[in-house]
Amino acid sequence: MLKFFEKFSEVFAIMSEKTDGSMKLLDGEKWEENLKNRNKFFNKNEINPNKVTSVRLVHGSKVLAVKNGAEKIVEDADGLVTSESNIFLAVTVSDCIPVYFYEKEKKIVGIAHAGWRGIVGGIVENAIGEILKLGGKVENMYIALGPGINSCHFEIKKDVLNEFRRYDAHVLRREEKIFVDLKGIIREQLLSRGIKEGSIEDNKACTYCSENFFSFRRDKTNETMVAAIGLKN
Ligand SMILES: [Zn+2]
């Protein structure tokens, strides 16, 4: 299990690893087993599974603000924010990058599932925008980047190259192959929105390189980790 934002005792931000089992939501016949894995993981971390709100990922860039009592599975979004202290927000990831947000003064938390489409589509900016709408300020924001697929393994084909045209500095060519540094793009977006470099923490592990994680590209499976954040009561 990985923890983020450890210097803030009022926030709990975690991510499961492969040994915790697959956490994928509504995964057909595997759902029952995955639900057990999720409940076990949340209970182990003293999170009430009934207080967890998850997104049903669509690999887009929409981020929604949620309140307690809202639906447990939010459709059609890839990120959530809240200013309430009695709910946890969760996304699942496997190569995509979990991005955790914390606004220290207003006590707003957020999480985004940042796949390449979401990243170029502006999911990071959208999450910041939702936090601002709740009264947060950029100068009080802290960001944690969980493990994801790094530029050693995130290869793209020419057909999608144009999607990265605004981020040329993060497109790398090696041996006639094209790779993209997704975290480099996220960092550029964060810094250009005014987030300070010193407010960003980064677990640099590559999910493809490390056997501690499921990797969609490496394993070609549906198995995923869960990333969650909430305020402690
Ligand atoms: Zn790698």
pLDDT digits (tens, 9 = 90+) for 166-220: 999 999 999 999 999 999 999 999 999 999 999 999 999 999 999 999 999 999 9
- How many angstroms does the Cα of residue 90 sit away from the middle of ligand 1? 24
- How many angstroms does the Cα of residue 53 sit away from the middle of ligand 1? 30
DSSP string, 111-157: EEEE-HHHHHHTHHHHHHHHHHHTT--GGGEEEEE--B--TTT-EE-
pLDDT surpasses 70 at 89: yes
pLDDT surpasses 90 at 82: yes
SS3 159: helix
- How many angstroms does the Cα of residue 95 sit away from the middle of ligand 1? 10
Residue 179 belongs to some domain of the structure = no
Pair 41, 16: CB distance under 8 Å? yes
For 110-150, the pLDDT digits (tens) are: 999 999 999 999 999 999 999 999 999 999 999 999 999 99
Residue 159 belongs to some domain of the structure = no
CA–CA separation, 134 and 150 (whole Å): 32
Pair 32, 26: CB distance under 8 Å? no
Residue 156 belongs to some domain of the structure = no
Residue 19 belongs to some domain of the structure = yes
- How many angstroms does the Cα of residue 75 sit away from the middle of ligand 1? 31
**pLDDT given at position 56:** 87
Residue 175 belongs to some domain of the structure = no
- How many angstroms does the Cα of residue 218 sit away from the middle of ligand 1? 10
- How many angstroms does the Cα of residue 133 sit away from the middle of ligand 1? 36
- How many angstroms does the Cα of residue 49 sit away from the middle of ligand 1? 32
- How many angstroms does the Cα of residue 222 sit away from the middle of ligand 1? 19
- How many angstroms does the Cα of residue 215 sit away from the middle of ligand 1? 10
- How many angstroms does the Cα of residue 96 sit away from the middle of ligand 1? 12
CA–CA separation, 38 and 52 (whole Å): 10
Residue where the block lists tokens 């509504």: 26
- How many angstroms does the Cα of residue 130 sit away from the middle of ligand 1? 32
Residue 153 belongs to some domain of the structure = no
CA–CA separation, 125 and 148 (whole Å): 19
Residue where the block lists tokens 């690893």: 17
Residue 90 belongs to some domain of the structure = yes
- How many angstroms does the Cα of residue 148 sit away from the middle of ligand 1? 9
Mean pLDDT of 142-161: 97
Q: Has this prediction a pTM greater than 0.75?
A: yes
Residue 17 belongs to some domain of the structure = yes
- How many angstroms does the Cα of residue 208 sit away from the middle of ligand 1? 5
CA–CA separation, 222 and 210 (whole Å): 17
Domain that residue 209 falls in:
2-148+185-231
- How many angstroms does the Cα of residue 83 sit away from the middle of ligand 1? 35
Query: Could you give phi then psi for residue 217, rounded to 5 degrees?
Result: -70, -40
Q: What is the CATH number of the domain that holds 39?
A: 3.60.140.10
CA–CA separation, 229 and 52 (whole Å): 9
- How many angstroms does the Cα of residue 141 sit away from the middle of ligand 1? 28
Alpha-carbon dihedral 51, 31, 22, 187, rounded to 10 degrees: -60
Neighbour tally for 212: CB within 10 Å: 13
Kindly state the tokens that stand for 166: 């605004």
Total domains, the chain: 1
Residue 231's nearest CA partner among 121, 116, 131, 87 is 87
Average pLDDT across the chain, whole number: 95
